[in-house]
């Protein structure tokens, strides 16, 4: 029923994993965060489709990883160019685009440089320019990656993302599973983390013309809630929704998150 498929595109710079599910007439593109540098979406079509099944009737949903072979020094803007090539390859345009964390940084550039690809834009727990909180987090994760400390990255991400209520339920699981799925190399993660630290589209955001929804959490310990407000202030006519008491993992915790995104994108 979910029509879930694992797919791969051959781009000029290498292969790009993506998944698709749903049967709706409208295309909805989702761009995940920096965790994509540790594991792409390859092989996750069915569980992802099940989690996001509420979108499957109204939309055909595409979730794009960054390409497998990233080059040191690549920026979020470069990654948006890769995504644009992928959309061209699939014949997609005028998509609803939902970017989470680093995915939201890439989505900003896609909307700025290729506005024909974006009919509606949803920016979730992301930022438009570096701040001290994000710099500190990226520096910490980068140090862990250089040491091969996958478990440390997983635990630190969880501690910074979830409410205490959620952490009481998941902390033990993260500790037990902290070695499962460890990548052979942290190179992709390090490149993506560096691109987050260098991302700066703030001065151009007023050029985004498509309807935009910004979603943030008041307790975001990775990019800050202020970063979401800052984006909304720069985009004309932008809608802003802040989840009180939730942080970077609000898209997993807020019970109305998918309904809110789906309603806006429809």
Give all strands of the β-sheet with 14-21 in edge-to-edge order. Answer: 5-11, 14-21, 59-64, 26-31, 95-100, 118-124, 212-217, 239-243
pLDDT of residue 159: 92
Residues of the chain with pLDDT under 70: 1, 177-179
Tell me the two tokens of residue 56: 């499957």
Q: Could you report the per-residue pLDDT of 77-134, keeping only the tens digit for each?
A: 999 999 999 999 999 999 999 999 999 999 999 999 999 999 999 999 999 999 999 9
CA distances from 251 to 79, 136, 215, 231, 255 (A): 23, 23, 9, 18, 8
pLDDT (0 to 100) of residue 109: 98
Query: In the prediction, which pLDDT does 166 show?
Result: 87
Tokens of 129: 């320019």
Of 125, 92, 3, 103, nearest in space to 53 by CA: 3
Report pLDDT for 177.
Answer: 66
Smallest Cα–Cα separation from 228: which of 209, 245, 206, 243? 243
pLDDT reported for residue 170: 77
Give alpha helix (H) positions in the chain: 45-51, 76-90, 102-113, 132-146, 150-161, 164-176, 187-198, 225-234, 250-253, 257-265
The whole model's pTM is what?
0.96
Domains in the chain: ranges and CATH? 5-265 (3.40.50.1820)
């Amino acid at each position: 029923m979910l029509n879930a498929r694992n797919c791969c595109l051959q781009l000029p710079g290498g292969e790009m994993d993506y998944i698709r599910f749903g049967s709706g007439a409208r295309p909805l593109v989702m761009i995940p965060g920096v965790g994509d540098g540790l594991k792409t979406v390859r092989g996750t079509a069915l569980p992802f489709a099940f989690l996001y099944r509420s979108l499957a009737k109204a939309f055909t949903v595409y979730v794009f990883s960054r390409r497998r072979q990233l080059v040191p020094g690549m920026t979020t803007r470069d990654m948006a160019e890769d995504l644009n090539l992928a959309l061209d390859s699939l014949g997609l345009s005028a998509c609803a685009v939902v970017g989470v964390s680093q995915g939201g940084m890439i989505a900003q550039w896609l909307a700025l440089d290729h506005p024909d690809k974006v009919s509606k834009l949803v920016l979730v727990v992301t930022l438009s320019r570096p701040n001290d909180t994000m710099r500190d987090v990226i520096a910490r994760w980068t140090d862990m990656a250089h040491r091969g400390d996958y478990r440390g990255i997983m635990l630190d991400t969880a501690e910074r993302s979830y409410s205490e209520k959620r952490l009481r339920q998941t902390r033990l699981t993260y500790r037990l599973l902290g070695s499962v799925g460890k990548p052979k190399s942290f190179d992709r993660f390090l490149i993506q983390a560096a691109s987050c630290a260098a991302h700066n589209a703030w001065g151009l955001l007023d050029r985004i013309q498509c309807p935009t929804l910004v979603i943030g959490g008041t307790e975001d310990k990775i990019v800050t809630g202020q970063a979401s407000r800052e984006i909304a202030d720069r985009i004309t006519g932008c809608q802003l929704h802040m989840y009180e008491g939730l942080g970077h993992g609000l898209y997993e915790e807020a019970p109305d998150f998918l309904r809110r995104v789906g309603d806006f994108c429809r």
